[in-house]
Amino acid sequence: MPRYFLHIDELDTDPEGSELPDLEAARREAILAAREMLAEWIISGAEDVPTRIIIADEAGNVLSVVQIRDVVPRALR
């Protein structure tokens, strides 16, 4: 199974990565992680929050990007 790394913005914040069946599964994980982090940032009153989660493969190639603003339901925007 391939290993995907979910990095916050340009930082290598996921040094271990996760084994997931495919890129779509990695995107779902990134969306869930972004929603959880966004909730924590709101609760803590953070003023400066990251803007995206970068999905990379083991070689460091960027495969996809999840924008934090895109994980907020339209009703809340």
Walk along the chain (77 residues) and give the pLDDT tens digit of each residue. 999 999 999 888 899 999 999 999 999 999 999 999 989 988 999 888 889 999 999 999 999 999 998 888 765 55
Q: What are the two backbone dihedrals, phi and then psi, of residue 56, each rounded to the nearest 5 degrees?
A: -125, 160
pLDDT at 75 (0 to 100): 54
The identity of residue 46, as a single letter, is A
pTM over 0.85: yes
pLDDT at 71 (0 to 100): 87
Residue 29: HSE in the Cβ half-sphere, 13 Å Cα cutoff: 21
Q: Are 10 and 53 in contact (CB under 8 A)?
A: no
Q: What are the two backbone dihedrals, phi and then psi, of residue 21, each rounded to the nearest 5 degrees?
A: -65, -35
Domain span at residue 71 reads 3-76
pLDDT at 27 (0 to 100): 97
pLDDT at 46 (0 to 100): 87
Q: How many structural domains is the chain composed of?
A: 1
Sheet holding 62-67, edge to edge: 18-19, 3-8, 52-56, 62-67
